[in-house]
Chain A
Amino acid sequence: MELKYYIIRRLLVLIPTIIGLLLLTFILLRAIPVNDLIANYVNQKATPAEKALEKQQAITLLGLGQPLPVQFFTYLTDVANGNLGNMYSAYYNGGVLRGIELFLPVTLEIAIFTVIFSVLISIPLGTFIGSRPNSVSDSVGRVFSLIFYAMPIFWLALMLQYAFGKNLLFLGSYGLPINGQGFPIQQVGFVHNHTGYSYSVPTHMLFIDAVLNLDFPLAVVAFEHLILPVLTLSMTVLAGLLRFIRAGMVDTSNQEYIKTARAKGVPEKLVLKRHIRKNALLPSVTVIGLLVAGLLGGAVVVEDIFQITGLGRLSLAAITGTSGNGANIQFFGVAGTVLFFGLILMLTNLIVDIVYAFLDPRIRY
């Protein structure tokens, strides 16, 4: 099959999956008591008359009086129009989509640095230990990756916080949120929006913006705040990646064409670089999907511990709600973030599959 048809087939398969994901979030929203759902739509500070009116509006808006398929269609239209509902919490008030837009860059910044850091370390290290199977360095690498693979990420974050956050003042990773708060507002490239959050322009990622605006003292501060979260996330990502690359290296070096290359006198360095590593790294592309899933899940924990104002904490805030005693869980916030995480991961997997098919012509099915 040609690459073109493979991509078309892959895109067509995506459509039912996305509809299924929407169905899942719809079921999540309808599985809860209707009164609780409507209560999310109503401003609790309004007068009773206004509340009754808002309730009525919510029922018509969500189509609650109508049969379920019609309700699902209403939900689909809402999502297509970018209306994911509102949420009220101590962390964020307002539209869910707007909240995602506001907090995504912070999470994205951490994710980008984590990926860069872990790829930069895991490829040379994986090549090194994979080319010497059963040596001392291989055992050390395996033990390292095993321990970090099996380590609870929240515990690692807490331990790093205890070890560095307190004793080394320059790594003040708790207390100061990254996203603008805590920094002098008159810094270059900061804007206040109507909800009272301040963020930097143009990318909304503090470190990158500070560098772009040539504000180096701020860049240093922003970078220091990134160190511990990125270190925590990369340790777990690194462990999985290292295991995979090592296994790939060992597998590839047992192939016949490696023996051929050695037999015909190709220098060992070239065998390692051209013949083994290139082929061993190819399957690693497929791990990127898992890596992104791990990053998004880990971001929830890391942002909670390091008090980073990111997307993961938005989903947690939706669950904790306004009061924190479980009375006011923000269902639209929960469903919206689940939907968003799902869409990100689906698109990642799509891109990974297409890139892999492009790189490896044998993959066509």
Chain B
Amino acid sequence: MQTTVSIFKRGTIQKKRHPKVEDAKETIKLVVKNKVAFTGLVITAVYLFLAFMDQVYPAYLGFGPNIITSLLQVGGQPNGKFPTPPTTVGGWHLWFGTGLGHFDIFPAMLASLRIDIGYSLLIVLSGAIIGIVVGSFSGYYGGVWDELVMRITDIFYSIPFIVMAIAFTTILSFTFTQDNIPISGFNLIALALIIIWWPTYARLTRSITLSLKSSRFIEAAIASGSSRVRNVITHIIPGVLSPVFVQISLDLGSIVLVFSTVEFLGLGQIIGINYYTPELGNIIVNGQGGMLLGYWWPIFIPGIFLLIFTVGINIFGDGLRDVLDPKMRR
């Protein structure tokens, strides 16, 4: 101890550097340098900010909490008025026109971000947590449990996501009604999607665990008497986190798509989602009736709005993968 201290002059304070903080700083620097990834980050951040604003300060929309439901209280059922086209006159909420039920599209889209992004964050994070735990333990322990988990993920992989999502959602809704458990429609879809989504993370985590398992630091940990559970928690899981984080950022966009597709396919009626419920898929399916009459904007504009978000989060995820890849660091 004495020798290491004596290298430095007495009295100079050596700034303590935490390796993880340094690493994070380096990552942020690289993401900002990568122009495409940074654009993606900005787009994602704007969308997240809008969703967050609707949660903490809904009045920023100018209509009080939950714009669409408040409109329902005012206007009642769909009143059959024809949509008005996008216009710059009459306030910012009319910029993108009104929908078939005569609600303003722009505030409705902003309000739907909270549900779309909030639920996809919930789904992706829960799926990732379940997947990390299952994948790392099964990969580290190996044997029968590993084989069993892999067969289960095989089964989930062998059914198309959309088909499985609608089947699970409807059947879960019946199960919950039977047991008299009140659950909202969105929670139901979220639950179904979590059940479907964890195998992706379990597989990813397992494959990384298998490569980490044979590395030197695990051998060292075993030699120093660390237990298997402790090895997984303190050594394997931190090593798994960064690829999982990339996968999360890529999946966030896909989940928003699946979420609104499920809504679009008419499940909203079955699980009791209102005509005016702010959700991008719901807004688009509501506009579908007027499309052939020439009212394109209730569909076109929410779709573009959704597309910008998914493209943004995808290029951010791609950029993040490049940045976090150790080969690209040098």
Contacts and interface: CB of A to CB of B under 8 A. Distances in A.
Chain A bound to chain B: yes
Interface of A: 13, 16-17, 20-21, 24, 28, 31-33, 36, 146-147, 149-155, 158-159, 161-162, 166, 174, 293-294, 296-298, 300-301, 304, 315-316, 319-320, 324-326, 329, 331, 334-335, 337-338, 341-342, 345-346, 349
Contact of B307 (A13, A28, A150): A150
A113 to B, nearest CB: 19
B184 interface: no
Contact of A320 (B155, B266, B271, B291): B266
B264 A301 contact: yes
Nearest to A27: B171
14 contacts: A21-B159, A32-B178, A33-B175, A150-B253, A150-B257, A150-B314, A152-B257, A152-B261, A153-B257, A154-B265, A158-B284, A300-B163, A316-B265, A345-B160
A299 B253 CA distance: 20
Interface stretch (B78-86, B227-235, B292-300): B292-300
A33 B151 contact: no
Given A21-B155, A152-B261, A304-B265, A319 B270 contact: yes
Please classify the interface of chain B as helix (H, G, I), strand (E, B), loop, or mixed, using the class held by over half of its residues: helix
Nearest to B174: A32
Nearest to A346: B158
A338 B163 contact: yes
Contacts, number: 149
Given A147-B307, A331-B171, A345-B158, A337 B314 contact: no
Nearest to B254: A150
Contact of A146 (B159, B172, B267, B314): B314
Contact of B162 (A159, A301, A345): A301
A325 B257 CA distance: 25
Contact of B291 (A152, A162, A301, A325): A162
Contacts of A304: 265-266
A334 B307 contact: no
Nearest to A163: B296
Contacts of B266: 304, 316, 320
Contacts of A33: 174-175, 177-178
B264 to A, nearest CB: 5
Contact size class for B? Answer: 35 or more
B299 A159 contact: yes
Most buried by B among A16, A155, A158: A155
Interface centre among B171, B260, B291 (most CB of A within 10 A): B171
Contacts of A338: 159, 163-164, 167
Interface in B267-301: 267, 269-271, 281, 284, 288, 291-292, 296, 299-300
Given A151-B310, A301-B265, A28 B163 contact: no
B171 A297 contact: no
Contacts of A21: 155, 158-159
Interface of B: 151-152, 154-155, 157-164, 166-168, 170-175, 177-178, 253, 257, 260-261, 264-267, 269-271, 281, 284, 288, 291-292, 296, 299-300, 303, 306-307, 310-311, 314-315
Contacts of A28: 167-168, 171
A324 B175 contact: no
A346 B159 CA distance: 9
A17 B300 contact: no
A169 to B, nearest CB: 13
Contacts of B155: 17, 20-21, 24, 342
Contact of A17 (B151, B170, B267, B303): B151
Contacts of B173: 326
A298 B168 CA distance: 18
A296 B314 CA distance: 23
Contacts of B315: 146
A155 B270 contact: no
Contacts of B264: 152, 154, 301
A127 to B, nearest CB: 22
Contacts of B269: 324-326
Nearest to A325: B269
